[in-house]
Chain A
Amino acid sequence: MKVLLVEDDATTSDYIVKGFSEQGHNIESAADGHQGLLLATSNQYDLIILDRMLPGLDGLALLAALRANANQTPVLILSALSHVDERVKGLRSGGDDYMTKPFAFSELLVRAEILVSRGQAAPVQTHLQAGPLQMELLTRNVTLDGQELMLQPKEFQLLKYLMEHPNQVISRTLLFEAVWDYHFDPRTNVIDVHIAKLRRKFEELGHGELIETVRGAGYRLRQRH
């Protein structure tokens, strides 16, 4: 994907550019708001990652200018302002997602991919597959090595999310947001216990290794190639 990063902090900017480049994505960066707007309006990007507080033109002002120009490129706002109302403000201004600094690169990447894939009219999926796992979205039927798994609704949603992003480290925050309609940091092991339950069900069928815990980051669904 082709990404535009508008970020004035050199350290953060380098970190993100390096990360996206390593993943094989094409990323350009701008260090202030005016340059960012110039690049955003003169080129076609799949995604814009936008810092809130920028020299020259403020991030939200840039976003407003972009949307006023009927530019519908997905925008992910990055900000040190972590409060819920700041988040709401960012999303209301036309942002598609909001991430607070500091962040883990893996989470940024996943969010970026989700935003880009959302923009592409993908055929409606009815079937997911990841290694020995098969999931029928319509019948909510899940099998592992052909054997049926009985899952609770939340377990089903968690697994679906992991299967949609195989081999990616998914943070607890992302999983939490995907499964529950409540945005807050639960500071608790609610995701862990759900994953543990899921993992036990896999273990019973000899596949305990399917969901991997990544310390300090989240979980990853392994997909054997």
Chain B
Amino acid sequence: MTLITGALLFTLYRQLVNEQQHQIDQHLETEKQRYIQLAQTVDRRSFAAQIRAADPKSVLVAWRNSFDIVGSLSLMPEDIPLLPETVEFPILSGGPDKLHILTGGLVITRYGPVLIATRTDQLATLIKKFLRAAVTAMTLTIVLTMALGYLFSKAILRRLVQYNRLAQRIERGHYDTRLPISWRQDEFDMLAKQFNRVLDTLEDNLQAVRGVTDNIAHDLRTPLSHLRIGLEQLKDKPSEEQAEKAEQLIEELDFCLATFDAMLSLTRIEEGQQQLDLQDVELSQLCTDLKEMAELMAEERGQTLNLTLGQPCVLQGDKYLLFQALFNLVDNAIKYAGDGAAIHIRQNGREVVISDNGPGIPAESRERVFERLVRLDPSRHHQGTGLGLSMVKAILSRHQAKISLEDNQPGLRVIIGFQ
């Protein structure tokens, strides 16, 4: 800013000086022409008279007569160049401003050299005033810029210090900390917003991990502690009961192992480590097998399991994984729809719908059921790893299939759409 102001002032100054110089030059040039003309047309005496009569306010003239100097100047300094070359020289006058600066040059006329000069001390004063104003302006600008810059950088610094302080807070484990966003909507606010979004994701993930850890603790610790208690009691049991107790403990252990295995394979499928064994899969065949496998389970609970096949469809997929996913959904329907429910499997083209008329899932929980180890039944009465639906989702997304849960009014409707 200071530079710009400086440059502007300098240009202004140059223009001002040039303009004045130009005017002076023109003025002197006119006078020069006038005296040359004059010398041509009048005699020596009239010439002298004219020179004497010249208005000193407009132009100062001096002509060296044979014995003295005629004109408003009483002297004729040495080394005055010929016009249009000019020189500045000081003179003394009787007036109040005793010292004057003149600018002038010589003109060679018929009657010898004539000094033509004009007062330029106004110009000098003007320039001096201008320079003083310019210096003041520059100083002010510099001071102002520095003051503003200082304030501005202090504001920025304050925000950086604040960000730094909050970041330290986050480092200490306060993950709910968020950077403040001002009304300014500037780059800092954009940065803060982005940073807050990162924190949101991070917090969600942490929450999920924490949830999983808690659930693992619950899911594995509970059977493991049963196992421990059981083993402790086993040695005190009468020998005829030992075998049965041991079998029961093995079942508990198998459950732990199954949960553990399910977690591992879920991770492998989710992270794409497990290669899909791709082959042609006929959806209608898959659904028929599904019905065949699950039918008896439904019958056992007085439920009906119906299958409706529509447009046939063959797609590329891992037959076993897809079957596992669909079976899991049907198995869930059987488990949760309640005794006597009606369960329906519909396949049409690339869509499979599994619906029941059980209690359904409240809308706000429908996304949550896909999370790992989430069970809507908080007491976890139903035996299961709590990974089933996560697995379903992971398998389906590896097959670029979409799954959505809807209200079947009443009940749950699961819609799977393959691309």
Same complex origin of A and B:
yes
Is A183 interfacial (CB 8 A cutoff)? yes
Q: Which of B249, B274, B293, B385 has a CB less than 8 Å from the CB of A84?
A: B274
Pick from A29-37, A110-118, A188-196 the stretch touching chain B.
A188-196
Q: Which of B244, B324, B385 has a CB less than 8 Å from the CB of A215?
A: B244
Is B265 interfacial (CB 8 A cutoff)? yes
Q: List 15 A-B contacts (CB under 8 A).
A: A84-B277, A85-B274, A180-B289, A184-B320, A187-B258, A187-B385, A190-B297, A193-B299, A196-B300, A214-B247, A215-B247, A215-B251, A216-B246, A216-B251, A217-B247
A residues near B293, Cβ cutoff 8 Å: 180, 182, 190
Q: Chain A binding site: helix, strand, loop or mixed by DSSP?
A: loop
Q: Which of B262, B297, B321 has a CB less than 8 Å from the CB of A188?
A: B297
Is A119 interfacial (CB 8 A cutoff)? no
CB-nearest residue of chain B relative to A185? Answer: B258
B residues near A194, Cβ cutoff 8 Å: 296
Is B384 interfacial (CB 8 A cutoff)? yes
Q: Chain B binding site: helix, strand, loop or mixed by DSSP?
A: helix
CB-nearest residue of chain B relative to A155? Answer: B296
In Å, the complex CA distance between A182 and B250 comes to 25
Known A-B contacts A189-B297, A193-B296; the reply to A182 vs B258 at CB < 8 A is no
CB-nearest residue of chain A relative to B385? Answer: A187
Is A18 interfacial (CB 8 A cutoff)? no
Contact B297 A85 (CB under 8 A): no
Is B280 interfacial (CB 8 A cutoff)? no
Q: How far is the CB of B358 from chain A (nearest CB, A)?
A: 17
Q: How many pairs, one residue from A and one from B, have CB atoms within 8 Å of each other in the complex?
A: 72
B residues near A83, Cβ cutoff 8 Å: 264-265, 268, 274
Contact B261 A185 (CB under 8 A): yes
Interface residues in B259-292 (C-beta closer than 8 Å to A): 261-262, 264-265, 268, 274-275, 277, 289, 292
Contact mask for chain A residues 75-113; partner B; CB cutoff 8 A; 1 contact, 0 none = 000000011110010000000000000101000000000
Is A197 interfacial (CB 8 A cutoff)? yes
Interface size class of A (residues with CB under 8 A): 20 to 34
Is B203 interfacial (CB 8 A cutoff)? no
CB-nearest residue of chain B relative to A180? Answer: B293
The interface on chain B, measured as residues whose beta carbon lies within 8 A of the other chain's beta carbons, has a size of: 36
Is B331 interfacial (CB 8 A cutoff)? yes
Contact mask for chain A residues 187-225; partner B; CB cutoff 8 A; 1 contact, 0 none = 111100110110000000000000000111100000000
Interface residues in B373-419 (C-beta closer than 8 Å to A): 384-385, 388
Known A-B contacts A102-B257, A154-B292, A196-B300; the reply to A88 vs B277 at CB < 8 A is yes
B residues near A56, Cβ cutoff 8 Å: none
Contact B254 A216 (CB under 8 A): yes
Interface residues in B99-115 (C-beta closer than 8 Å to A): none
Is A186 interfacial (CB 8 A cutoff)? yes
In Å, the complex CA distance between A215 and B254 comes to 12
Apart from A82-B265, A190-B294, what are 7 other A-B pairs with CB-CB below 8 Å?
A180-B289, A185-B261, A189-B297, A190-B293, A190-B296, A216-B254, A217-B250
Q: How far is the CB of A113 from chain B (nearest CB, A)?
A: 22
Contact A197 B296 (CB under 8 A): yes
CB-nearest residue of chain A relative to B265? Answer: A83
In Å, the complex CA distance between A214 and B246 comes to 11
B residues near A181, Cβ cutoff 8 Å: 289
Known A-B contacts A182-B324, A183-B320, A216-B254; the reply to A193 vs B297 at CB < 8 A is yes
In Å, the complex CA distance between A8 and B262 comes to 27
CB-nearest residue of chain B relative to A215? Answer: B247
Q: How far is the CB of A173 from chain B (nearest CB, A)?
A: 10
In Å, the complex CA distance between A187 and B260 comes to 13
Q: How far is the CB of B310 from chain A (nearest CB, A)?
A: 23
Is B323 interfacial (CB 8 A cutoff)? yes
